[in-house]
Amino acid sequence: MNETKRIKSALISVYHKDNLDSIIEKLHQLNVEIYSTGGTKSFIEGLGVPVTAVESLTDYPSIFGGRVKTLHPKIFGGILYRREEAKDREEAAQYAIPDIDMVIVDLYPFEETVALGAPEAEVIEKIDIGGIALIRAAAKNYKDVLIVPSQREYAPLQTLLDKKNGETDLADRRKFAGAAFNVSSHYDTAIFDYFNRELNEPVFRQNITGGMALRYGENPHQKGIYFGNFNAIFDKLNGKEISYNNLLDIDAAVNLIADFNDPTFAILKHNNACGLASDADPTEAWKKALAGDPVSAFGGVLIANYAIDAATAADIDGIFYEILIAPSFSPEALTLLQGKKNRILLKQKNNLSVGQQFRSLLNGVALQDKDLAVESINDLKPVTVRKASDDELVDLLFANKIVKHSKSNTIVLAKGKQLLAGGVGQTSRVDALKQAIKKAHTFGFDLNGSVMASDAFFPFPDCVEIAGKAGIKAIIQPGGSMKDKESIDAADQLSVAMVFTGIRHFKH
């Protein structure tokens, strides 16, 4: 079998025609016979290039409003017949089936139509039938046929045509066939996902094209790739290549800040907040966040939900950090912050929209709904004799947002909408509390009048007792322990206010 083949004929049926003109003109220069239909045929004719209508091969017009155009044995026979098989060649001659050496397809924009919120009738019409069948047929017969399955492959095709003047070898055709099955599997997954929004079948499918190679994974000896559209969420304004660990911190930061409406600044390290504050004065929010743990802030990820002005930028510029994320930067702030070439600056354009999350484990995948619960005043159930004051309630809800985004077991201490300290990732809730108290004292915070948030209930009253003796005056926790009464009694003895939310916020 001769692996090198010359393209003598091509079937072209595409939705996106941008950058197709130079390909058409090259094929014309190479004396390739072109078959087409509908809008693509009109486009080719507009370039002054001869084109044969598919209908002239099939003796059938485009029917059912364009639903059936290329679905015909003369088309699929010309793609699928095996050139090295004598019987296939005889049948092709018997039924006047022409050779089709190359197929160029670009499918209807199904995903884009769904994303626009189009009515179902319009969405259904964007399910491509003929196009996907052409892709699969040509890819299956890659030994004889070159398949160009999407607009993304126009440029590689142009390069191939320019380099080899219309010839392809088996490696070329197999490479394009692989891209074709990537396109078809992604397309089918998108359609299934659309229908499964109502069916809710317990099926896990993910097909994200365009992976971005990372320098390495979590550690240098691990390979890392990011699959997703980072540029749809951020504009990268400065800095070095983003790493795997950067992505984890960015994700944690964006999820955390999304729960705050007041002007808020947060500093994260290893996915946990080490400093966070809300304040009407942007610079004060930054200063209070830094005060929470100026040591851990070194090399951290910084995020604000407000524009970074020149004054705030000047303060921030004084420390070393990896990443700064904000919805916008003033021109003066941006000029200053871009002074260090490795510093990553991200302008956040959109919030995260995914409602589910998954992780690989035990040779499989665990899927769950994302924790989107954000408690309000109406969700709080006072359970102690002393009731939390208005200011304490504000701080309790503030602390509870932070505890939700901290690794379990976790305790958060706060006052005046400022994170005083957190004890995170501990195997014991008592250890988490002791860690938080020690840390707060290390950085000179007075815990008298502060509040405490816990991601889960207290199985024993010990945490309440330790907190009360440290000066903490109000506690927020889910409740639900068999020994809740013991914790309530301990709080009453110490004149500590306590509220239950009924919602646990484990994070592992």
Q: Is the pLDDT of residue 203 over 90?
A: no
Q: Which one-letter DSSP state was computed for residue 269?
A: E
CA–CA separation, 91 vs 83, rounded Å? 11
Question: In the structure, what pLDDT confidence band is assigned to residue 62 with cuts at 50, 70 and 90?
Answer: confident
Q: Write the burial class of residue 94 (CB in 10 Å: 0-12 exposed, 13-18 middle, 19+ buried).
A: exposed
Average pLDDT, the chain: 94
Q: Is the pLDDT of residue 9 over 90?
A: yes
What pLDDT score does 59 carry? 80
Which of 270, 347, 434, 441 is labelled catalytic? 270
What pLDDT score does 61 carry? 82
Q: What is the pLDDT of residues 309-350, one digit of tens each?
A: 999 999 999 999 999 999 999 999 999 999 999 999 999 998
Q: Is the pLDDT of residue 2 over 70?
A: no
Least confident of 110-119, 202-211, 357-366: 202-211
**Contact present, 403 and 456 (Cβ < 8 Å):** no
What pLDDT score does 216 carry? 93
What pLDDT score does 353 carry? 80
User: Which phi and psi (to 5°) does residue 410 adopt?
Assistant: -140, 145
**Is 349 one of the catalytic residues?**
no
Which of 140, 143, 347, 434 is labelled catalytic? 140
Q: What is the pLDDT of residues 212-247, one digit of tens each?
A: 899 899 999 999 999 998 999 999 999 999 999 999
What pLDDT score does 182 carry? 92
Q: Is the pLDDT of residue 1 over 60?
A: no
What pLDDT score does 493 carry? 97
Q: What is the pLDDT of residues 400-418, one digit of tens each?
A: 999 999 999 999 999 999 9
CA–CA separation, 365 vs 200, rounded Å? 17
pTM comes to 0.83
Nearest by Cα to 392 from 424, 414, 370 = 414
Question: In the structure, what pLDDT confidence band is assigned to residue 448 with cuts at 50, 70 and 90?
Answer: very high
CA–CA separation, 264 vs 285, rounded Å? 6
**Is 140 one of the catalytic residues?**
yes
Q: Give me the mean pLDDT over the 463-473 stretch.
A: 97
What pLDDT score does 199 carry? 86
Q: Is the pLDDT of residue 473 over 70?
A: yes
Chain mean position to CA 227: 8
CA–CA separation, 72 vs 1, rounded Å? 28
What pLDDT score does 68 carry? 82
Q: What is the pLDDT of residues 157-190, one digit of tens each?
A: 999 999 999 999 999 999 999 999 999 999 999 9
What pLDDT score does 490 carry? 97
Nearest by Cα to 344 from 271, 419, 235 = 235
User: Which phi and psi (to 5°) does residue 259 adopt?
Assistant: -85, -5
What pLDDT score does 206 carry? 80
What pLDDT score does 378 carry? 95
